[in-house]
Amino acid sequence: MTPTTIGLIGIAALFLLIFSRLPVGYLMAVIGIVGFGTIVSFDAALNLTARDVFSVFSSYNLTVIPLFVFMGQIAFHSGISSRLFDAAYRFVGHIPGGLAIATIGACAGFSAICGSTNATAATMGAATLPEMKRYNYKPELATGVVAAGGSLGILIPPSVVFIVYGILTEQSIGELFVAGLLPGLLLCVLMVASILIWTRMRPDLGPKGEKFTLRQKLASLSGLIETLVIFVLVMGGLFKGIFTPTEAGGIGAFCTLAVALIRRNLSMEGFVQALFETTRITCMILVIVAGATIFSRFMAVTRIPFDIAGWITALDMSPAMIMCLIIGVYFLGGCFIDALALVMLTIPIFYPVILELGYDPIWFGVVIVLVTQIGVITPPVGVNVYVVSGVARDVPLNTIFKGVVPMLIAMIITTLLLIPFPQIALYLPSLL
């Protein structure tokens, strides 16, 4: 058997066995070791595995992940989410669907300090669902908005998927972060528009809430200031090149912790939970990165990543068609596989193709993040929908999936706008 055949068997095995429920990181490592061992030698495969694992675990560049995760976890456990929601609510709560709009606003704000879609959905779910219930919002609107709002968490910086994509493709994490900002805000606006249209069609979905005086509105802004200050400090320092992504994560975690302690919003128990959740999430991500490293070593000896770009470009198809196919793969994959795992599985295969076709890698990063986030809220495996159903136990899954549809339209429009207008993602990075 030629190395290419073994490589193709390896890829097929990966995509089949991924449904076996073996953790994705473990599976990639096992296939990587067996494949590399078959082509080169098992001694070399085992030897390299230990080196790969240590080099991933002790990589300075990857320590950005636990630090940003820790920052988001502290924000999660210290009530920043409810202060953001409260401020947004006072401004728009009095219009129909206002609480849902406030939820989107608060999700966008929370995303600015939290890089995880699930954490954003879980946090905002806990903070906003009881309020929406109190004002007689229909469950489909309330839960749909929370599930979809989580995807802002991954588009608006910081973002764990951008970090991993940046490391895998050797693109600047700072540039990726800035590139996500405008599409994130655009998505935010489109989601608000969906809510307005939907509640205009069915006013019973989200009745008007109370109206606040200007003084009350302004008073609520104090809850926003700390988030804004942390965001500007962390992202500003990163974009200006004053500190590395890891240092930005460290400073961000430190400042968020300091704010939580000064405001006395973080209990000892909350702190320990934040810390343990951080270790768990970090370990989960880094195990996949280690698995992907071992797997790509196997891919490299098969030469498939180099050949595949050639095969695809030799096809008689326009680059736009190929791009649509790739986006289709991410969309389908995203319905079954976690966004982060999907990015790590596919980047070694698709990334050379993207470069070969002349697409901008930063733009591509934004597009796949958006497309995989669509998968996060579509059946059968809409992770965020499960997260929200964990918070709102009385709402059936079907209702949440129904509520997600208008938000899904907003996401699809954002993606479709990004294809002819890559400037939406690339304008801000071009200013750096």
Partner 1 sequence: MISVIRANRYIARAAGTVNWIAAAAIVLMMLVTTGDVVLRFFRFSIPGAYETIGFLGALAISFSLPYTAAEKGHIAVDFLVPRLPRTARIVIHSINSLVSLVLFAVIAWQSMVYGSVLKASNSVSATLEMPIYPFVYGVAAGCILLCPVLVMDLLLRLRGAETQ
Pick one of 2, 23, 216, 306: the residue that binds partner 1 (CB under 8 A): 23
CA distance 341 to 359: 23
Query: What is the smallest separation between the CB atom of 66 and partner 1, expressed in angstroms?
Result: 5
CB of 415 to partner 1, least distance (A): 23
Of 105 and 333, which CB lies nearer to partner 1 in the complex structure?
A: 333
> SS3 string of the chain?
CCHHHHHHHHHHHHHHHHHHCCCHHHHHHHHHHHHHHHHCCHHHHHHHHHHHHHHHHCCCHHHHHHHHHHHHHHHHHCCHHHHHHHHHHHHHCCCCCHHHHHHHHHHHHHHCCCCCHHHHHHHHHHHHHHHHHHCCCCHHHHHHHHHHHCCHHHHCCCCHHHHHHHHHHCCCHHHHHHHHHHHHHHHHHHHHHHHHHHHHHCHHHCCCCCCCCHHHHHHHCHHHHHHHHHHHHHHHHHHCCCCCHHHHHHHHHHHHHHHHHHCCCCCHHHHHHHHHHHHHHHHHHHHHHHHHHHHHHHHHHHCHHHHHHHHHHHCCCCHHHHHHHHHHHHHHHHHHCCHHHHHHHHHHHHHHHHHHHCCCHHHHHHHHHHHHHHHHCCCCCCHHHHHHHHHCCCCCHHHHHHHHHHHHHHHHHHHHHHCCCCHHHHHHHHHC
- Measured distance CA(26)–CA(9) in Å, rounded: 18
The nearest distance, CB 280 to partner 1, in angstroms, is 4
Residue partners of 431: CB distance under 8 A and separation at least 6? none
> What is the x/- site pattern for partner 1, positions 335-364, by CB under 8 A?
-xxx-xx-----------------------
User: 381, 339 in Cβ contact below 8 A?
Assistant: no
Measured from the CB atom, is 131 or 226 closer to partner 1?
Answer: 226
Which of 101, 288, 354, 367 touches partner 1 (CB under 8 A)?
288
Among 6, 14, 18, 106, binds partner 1 (CB under 8 A): 18
Site for partner 1 in 59-88 (CB under 8 A): 59-60, 62-63, 66-67, 70
Interface residue with partner 1 among 205, 287, 349, 368 (CB under 8 A) is 287
Q: Residue 298 CB, nearest distance to partner 1 (Å)?
A: 15
- Each residue 379-408 as x (binds partner 1 by CB under 8 A) or -, in order, gives -xx---------------------------
From 7, 49, 112, 418, residue interacting with partner 1 (rule: CB under 8 A): 49
Binding residue for partner 1 (CB under 8 A) from 1, 5, 12, 46? 46
For tokens 């990857």, name the residue.
62
Residue choice 286, 326, 366, 395 for contact with partner 1 (CB under 8 A): 286
Judged by CB under 8 A, the residue of 25, 125, 149, 403 near partner 1 is 25
Under rule CB under 8 A, which residues in 245-284 are in contact with partner 1?
246-247, 249-251, 253-254, 257, 272, 275-276, 278-284
CA proximity to 305, closest of 362, 363, 346 = 346
Shorter beta-carbon distance to partner 1: residue 223 or 245? 245
Phi-psi region at 41: left, alpha or beta (left = phi > 0; alpha = psi -120 to 50): beta
Of 21 and 264, which has the nearer Cβ to partner 1?
21
Comparison of 33 and 178: residue with beta carbon closer to partner 1: 33
When binding is defined by CB under 8 A, the residue of 1, 2, 12, 26 that contacts partner 1 is 26
- Kindly state the smallest distance separating residue 277's Cβ from partner 1, in Å: 9
Question: Least CB distance from residue 20 to partner 1, whole Å?
Answer: 6
- The two structure tokens encoding residue 130: 């009881």
Whole-number Å distance between alpha carbons of 13 and 5? 12
Judged by CB under 8 A, the stretch of 12-20, 127-135, 205-213, 420-428 that binds partner 1 is: 12-20
Which residue of 1, 22, 228, 315 would you call a contact of partner 1, by CB under 8 A?
Answer: 22
Nearest distance from residue 33's CB to partner 1, in Å? 8
- Find the length of the chain: 432
**At closest approach, how far in Å is the CB of 268 from partner 1?**
13
Query: What angle separates helix 24-39 from helix 339-357, to the nearest 10 degrees?
Result: 50
Closest distance between partner 1 and the C-beta of residue 51, in Å?
6
Q: Which of residues 192-251 bind partner 1 (CB under 8 A)?
A: 242-243, 246-247, 249-251
Site for partner 1 (CB under 8 A): how many residues?
58
* Residues engaged in binding partner 1 (CB under 8 A): 18-26, 29-30, 33, 46-47, 49-51, 53-54, 57-60, 62-63, 66-67, 70, 242-243, 246-247, 249-251, 253-254, 257, 272, 275-276, 278-284, 286-288, 336-338, 340-341, 380-381
